[in-house]
Amino acid sequence: MDPQSSPAEQQSNAQDQSPARPEDAGGPWAVTESLRLRRFLCYGSESATYSTRERALGPENALALMELVQAGRGQEVVEEVKRLSLEGKTVRPNPALFALAVCTQYSDAPAKQAAFRALQELCKAPGQLFTFIQYKKELKDGLRCGMWGRGLRRAVSDWYNGQDALSLAHTVTRCKHRAGWSHQDLFRLSHMKPANDSIELISKYVTKGWKVVQETYAEKESSEELLKVFAYLEAVEKAKHSTDEQEVVHLIEEHRLEREQILTNHLKSKEVWKALLKEMPVAALMRHLGKMTADKVLVPGSPEVAAVCERIQDDQALTKAKTHPFSILVASENYKRGHGKRGKRKWEPSRDIVHALDSAFCKSLSNVEPTGKRFVVGVDVSASLSSLALGSSVSTIAVAAAMSMVIARSEPEAEVLIFSEGAMVPCVISDDTSLIQVTAQLVQVLSAGTDCALPIEWASENDKTVDVFIIFTSNETQFGSTNPAEVLRTYREKTGVFSKLIVCGMATNGLSVADPDDRGMLDICGFDSRAVDIIRNFVLDVI
């Protein structure tokens, strides 16, 4: 359920956009090779289970990808990688990078060239380029093939040369290394030839250091662009070596330096954080609210608190950033807790900031685009919902309440049910219902025993037409008298509707409700912001 989806996503019956293949035959619910590829590209697994626990990628858990590439269909894979990535459907970026790395390791020349060309479009940050290179290295070791051939050298060179010089200066100073690789490694191994004087300056800075750049360019007559790049790198170096707090603050404000470019020692300064706060993106701001409150950067009644509250609630900023209500919920719950995950950092939550986060949550609900599907949301209250959801450190009751609100407020046809074994009651959510009021309805333990089939049986008995059933539970799910997968199939046969089932085991690492051979079923282990996007992708037939 992402805000601001494309018009194509809103079609009530989204079609599979992958090329039709003979092996894809087998009915509307068959799990096809192309579906397994899309699942892998979306969340890193070919199975019908998404887990918030990210696992290492390798050929052994990307069998459909490997089969397609080995069958000479690498170009199709690259096109699918590009389509899903550019449409924002890959909730984890690494699987797409792994797929491109695989396509470049085989002898299919057109696929290899297409994969290298795609790097320019898909690797928006250096961390992604470093990750791609590391996957190449791992595949080289496993497949016993070469790595730094002409194609990779050209692709890496083009990635650096294709950027605006000032943007590249920001890039190489903000993220210097990741996954065991650095810019210096890539400049050296790619034998990069800079496209212009400004990029040559950056190349010299990366490979030989600031002192050499000073000696070469300090007195040299230069273009306006080159002077800007020199001044920016000079500011970064001054910030690294300065012991004067006010000088660092001035450099941050004049050159818009970011937290990643500032030394740890300077990040102990309140004034430095106040300077960083002015240009900090809203998502980063919400992540650091606890730290800034604990370090007295955000003091009740201060101009900084007022500015933070204004930015958090800004309608245009929320819409532009496509901030989902769940992301704000996570920031809010973590801030209200008053301490970090390990309990070392503690703070007294600011009432103004708490109020601003609550307001932002309500405002962001209007940014969620409807899917146009008919929903039944079932919240299992057979046991306490006080445990924490894996992947987000938010209570399962808060997750269930927030997602129930999101669906009920964004979808024109949605019913929310509170259930446990032998009992089913409606959860009333209107346009003016608050999150606290929804939560209050869920704080009830009706009876012991989890039966995920109950909402489907209720829909069948009451002649409800449902496209998507979503179950939220904190338990290890158990079957009642019937298997939910079997009940769903019976419901489909009765109604003629190809209904889907999503079971969210918010506090468990393992679920086995979804039938692995039925594309209309999905298990979610834990719950994080990626799960929100995966639910939307699943509902709209992307995966």
Are the beta carbons of 286 and 341 closer than 8 angstroms? no
What is the share, in percent, of the chain residues with pLDDT greater than 70? 91
Between the alpha carbon of residue 239 and those of residues 131, 205, 314, 421, the distances in Å are 28, 16, 31, 62
Distance separating the N- and C-terminal Cα atoms of the chain: 14
Between the alpha carbon of residue 68 and those of residues 75, 77, 127, 290, 503, the distances in Å are 9, 7, 27, 47, 30
The values of phi and psi at residue 525, to 5°, are -100, 115
Tokens of 55: 């696992």
Tokens of 474: 């904190």
Q: Over the stretch 345-354, which tens digit does the pLDDT of each residue have?
A: 899 999 999 9
Between the alpha carbon of residue 428 and those of residues 341, 364, 382, 409, 464, the distances in Å are 33, 20, 19, 11, 17
Q: Output the pTM of the full model.
A: 0.87
Among candidates 162, 212, 165, 156, which has minimal Cα distance to 183?
156
Predicted confidence at residue 30, as pLDDT, reads 85
Among candidates 403, 401, 385, 409, which has minimal Cα distance to 437?
401
CA distance 444 to 439: 10
Under the banding of pLDDT at 50, 70 and 90, the label for residue 16 is very low
Query: Which residue in this structure is represented by tokens 């290295």?
Result: 137
* Count of Cβ atoms closer than 10 Å to residue 22 Cβ: 5
Name the strand (E) or helix (H) holding 400: helix 396-410
**Range among 104-108, 128-132, 419-423 with highest mean pLDDT value:** 128-132
One-letter amino acid of 504: C
Predicted confidence at residue 419, as pLDDT, reads 87
Which residues make beta-bridge pairs with 415?
A: 376
Mean pLDDT over residues 28-32, rounded? 82
In this structure, of 4-18, 122-136, 243-257, the range with the lowest mean pLDDT score is 4-18
| Residue 492 exposed, middle or buried by CB count within 10 Å (0-12, 13-18, 19+) | middle
Name the strand (E) or helix (H) holding 500: strand 500-505
| Residue 493 exposed, middle or buried by CB count within 10 Å (0-12, 13-18, 19+) | exposed
**Chain centroid to CA 220:** 45
Under the banding of pLDDT at 50, 70 and 90, the label for residue 1 is low
Mean residue pLDDT across the chain: 88
Q: Over the stretch 177-186, which tens digit does the pLDDT of each residue have?
A: 998 999 999 9
Instruction: Say which residues have a Cβ less than 8 Å from residue 9's Cβ, sequence separation at least 6.
Output: 369, 371, 536, 540
CA distance 385 to 50: 21
Are the beta carbons of 433 and 439 closer than 8 angstroms? no
What does DSSP assign to residue 341? T
What is the share, in percent, of the chain residues with pLDDT greater than 90? 69
* Count of Cβ atoms closer than 10 Å to residue 296 Cβ: 11
Torsion of CA 243, 245, 251, 253, to 10 degrees: 170
Q: Over the stretch 467-518, which tens digit does the pLDDT of each residue have?
A: 999 999 886 655 556 789 999 999 999 999 999 999 999 988 887 888 888 9
